[in-house]
Amino acid sequence: MTTATTAPGQAAPLVRVRGLTKSYGAIRALRGVDVSFRRGEIHGLVGANGAGKSTLIRCLAGLERPDAGDILVDGEIAHVHGPDDAARLGLAFIHQELNLVSSFTGAQNIMLGSHRGSMVTPRRFSGVPRAVLDAARRVGIDFPLDIPVSELTVHQQWLVTIARALVEDRALIAMDEPTASLDAQEAATLLKVARELAASGVAVVFISHRLDEVTAVCDRVTAFKDGSISLALPRAEITREAVVRAIVGHDVTPGAGATAFEVTEHPRVVLRLQDVGRGRSVREVSLTLHEGEVVGIAGLVGSGRTELARLIFGADRPDRGTMLLDGKPYRPRSIPHAIARGVAYVPEERRSEALFLTHSVEDNLHITVWDRWRMSKLLPLIRPRASRAAANHTCRTLGIKTADARRPVMSLSGGNQQKVVMGRWLATNPKILILDEPTRGVDVGARADIYDRIREANRSGSAVLVISSEFEELLECNRVLVMAEGRIVGELTGGEITVPNMLHLCYA
């Protein structure tokens, strides 16, 4: 697709990308991409995981060097060799994954986004500057900024990340999946901030898999497919159907092929919780999980869903109540203890809690079943050919896009990283598989792949617990438990499983 010329009366682009190309081995992430971003406009970028959106943003941010092509700012070729170059050009970025200094406070992390960021050290920085308070207020931060971010929840850390991009005036702000970890109210606040930024003359680049947000807020939409631009539309022509068609490559009928998860006949109880609690985050929770069923947990952010999952997985310990696994007392002393008992957990924040980023895809897939590839029980050596063949087979089966399973897992897109985490746990044939926001930041195609994997676990007899803030994803579950303020406030089955019913229980 050729670059569109500037229409009469239309502002010249602030940033123009011309013929940008980037490859990772045999994978062509960008194929001669031409696109422009204008002041005062929200420009949406959509596409499947691995389609090239995030690679484009990383090139603009100076985190990747393109193989060919130019980046122009105000009509002049810009040499963006690193994040400092991007910052000097007035470009700010909210990347898809958290990138915070865990030992620093929220205020210190926000300040890292300013020209005075080099002054931020525990010894040389104290208090909360006015610029930080203003940025925090814009995104609706209502929690303390003087405590380490390691003590904040995932969605609170995301608000800190967003505020960091707003701490100084910028000509362009790129937001890569900014609402993925936010609840509905926080997401609405973020979209309001995006509109205000555009109204003030900032160029806003908005990347999201939530197509309703894209169609509602963007002035233009560009769709990527296999490293190329497959669609470019102005606001007046944007429709959800056209965008989905450009992403997937064909028309998609809503609900086509969707069937409820199967239920094992006469299922046995695998896990039983009775009045389990921990502090104020989980309060007297009682539930049962049966072999071969998929149970959803709905609830607003902060309702205790993740905290409950961590208790079952042994990451935290309950201070009251009882748990039974296969009818026997279950009180995991640690995560390895829980894994040994057949419990698996895919956490919400995959990069910091689930992946070894500098290690290969192969290593990450096999970390839970390493003994299968050992040459001998007495030697810590593996059979490399067998291990690599198995990893490549898993990549093909799960649709993990990588040229070689020996590549670092950090080189994969977010959706492909999520498939690696799921593949790791599916290889263990778990009794209980807990999935916390399994499709966060994942495109419609990868989302279908992930739910196919859930069906496989379902058919093999695993009890699957799915936690999701997108209630539409829970409609196929055999049962849905709704949590609020640390408690289970309702259970829905059959025809009762509807989004309005889940919302009603959340706010009841």
DSSP string covering 240-288: HHHHHHHHHSS---TTTT--PPP--SSPPEEEEEEEEEETTTEEEEEEE
Q: Is position 136 within any domain? A: yes
Whether residues 132 and 242 fall in one domain: yes
Residue pair 41/221 in contact by the 8 Å Cβ criterion: no
Gap between the Cα atoms of 202 and 221, Å rounded = 17
Q: Mind listing the pLDDT tens digit for each residue in 290-340? A: 999 999 999 877 789 999 999 999 999 999 999 999 999 999 989 999 999
- Final residue belonging to a domain, choices 213, 248, 283: 248
**Domain interval for residue 332:** 269-342+428-507
Q: Is position 380 within any domain? A: no
Whether residues 223 and 285 fall in one domain: no
Whether residues 211 and 277 fall in one domain: no
Q: Which pLDDT band, with edges at 50, 70 and 90, does 57 fall under?
A: very high
Whether residues 103 and 195 fall in one domain: yes
Alpha helices in 8-76 (DSSP H): 53-60
Whether residues 240 and 281 fall in one domain: no
Instruction: Look at the chain and report how many structural domains it folds into.
Output: 2
Q: Is position 314 within any domain? A: yes
Q: What is the pLDDT of residue 21?
A: 95
Nearest to 261, CA basis, from 490, 461, 500, 471: 461
Q: What is the pLDDT of residue 253?
A: 46
**Which residues make Cβ contacts (< 8 Å) with residue 257, sequence separation at least 6?**
none
CATH of the domain at 275: 3.40.50.300
Sheet with 27-37, side-by-side order of all strands: 27-37, 15-24, 68-73, 76-77
Identify the residue with better confidence: 98 or 192. 192
Whether residues 274 and 243 fall in one domain: no
Task: Tell me what the mean pLDDT of segment 257-261 comes to.
Answer: 52
Question: What are the structure tokens assigned to 395, written together?
Answer: 């990549």
Whether residues 91 and 218 fall in one domain: yes
- Final residue belonging to a domain, choices 218, 248, 278: 248
Residue 411 DSSP label: G
Phi-psi region of 205 (alpha: psi -120 to 50; beta: other; left: phi over 0): beta
Query: What three-state secondary structure class fits 301?
Result: coil
Q: Is position 483 within any domain? A: yes
Whether residues 106 and 169 fall in one domain: yes
- Final residue belonging to a domain, choices 214, 248, 282: 248
pTM over 0.75: no
Q: What is the pLDDT of residue 382?
A: 61
Whether residues 163 and 219 fall in one domain: yes
Q: Is position 482 within any domain? A: yes
Q: Mind listing the pLDDT tens digit for each residue in 265-295? A: 668 999 999 999 998 889 999 999 999 999 9
b/e per residue 121-160 (b: at least 16 CB within 10 A): eeeebeebeebbbebbebbbbeeebeebbeebbbbbbbbb
Is residue 406 exposed (0-12), middle (13-18) or buried (19+ Cβ within 10 Å)? Answer: middle
State which H helix or E strand residue 87 sits in.
helix 83-88
* pLDDT exceeds cutoff 60 at 255: no
* pLDDT exceeds cutoff 80 at 460: yes
Q: Is position 391 within any domain? A: no
Q: Is position 196 within any domain? A: yes
Question: What are the structure tokens assigned to 180, written together?
Answer: 């993925």
Question: What are the structure tokens assigned to 29, written together?
Answer: 């992430």
Gap between the Cα atoms of 337 and 330, Å rounded = 10
Cα–Cα distances in Å, from 142 out to 137, 192, 242?
Answer: 8, 17, 38
Is residue 52 exposed (0-12), middle (13-18) or buried (19+ Cβ within 10 Å)? Answer: buried
Question: What are the structure tokens assigned to 223, written together?
Answer: 């769709």
Q: What is the pLDDT of residue 204?
A: 94
Q: What is the pLDDT of residue 113?
A: 67
Task: Using DSSP bridges, classify how beta strands 68-73 and 76-77 pair: parallel, antiparallel or unpaired.
Answer: antiparallel
Gap between the Cα atoms of 397 and 456, Å rounded = 12
Whether residues 147 and 82 fall in one domain: yes
Q: Mind listing the pLDDT tens digit for each residue in 76-120? A: 999 999 988 998 999 998 887 778 888 899 999 998 867 554 444
Alpha helices in 330-443 (DSSP H): 335-340, 350-353, 361-366, 384-398, 414-426
* pLDDT exceeds cutoff 80 at 370: no
Query: What three-state secondary structure class fits 451?
Result: helix
Whether residues 147 and 72 fall in one domain: yes
Q: What is the pLDDT of residue 185?
A: 79
- Length of the chain as a residue count: 508
**Which residues make Cβ contacts (< 8 Å) with residue 256, sequence separation at least 6?**
none
Q: What is the pLDDT of residue 6?
A: 47
User: How far does Cα 110 stand from its chain's mean position?
Assistant: 21
Whether residues 77 and 141 fall in one domain: yes
**Which residues make Cβ contacts (< 8 Å) with residue 265, sequence separation at least 6?**
none
Q: What is the average pLDDT value for the chain, to the nearest integer?
A: 83
Q: Is position 377 within any domain? A: no
Which amino acid appears at position 222 of this protein?
A: T
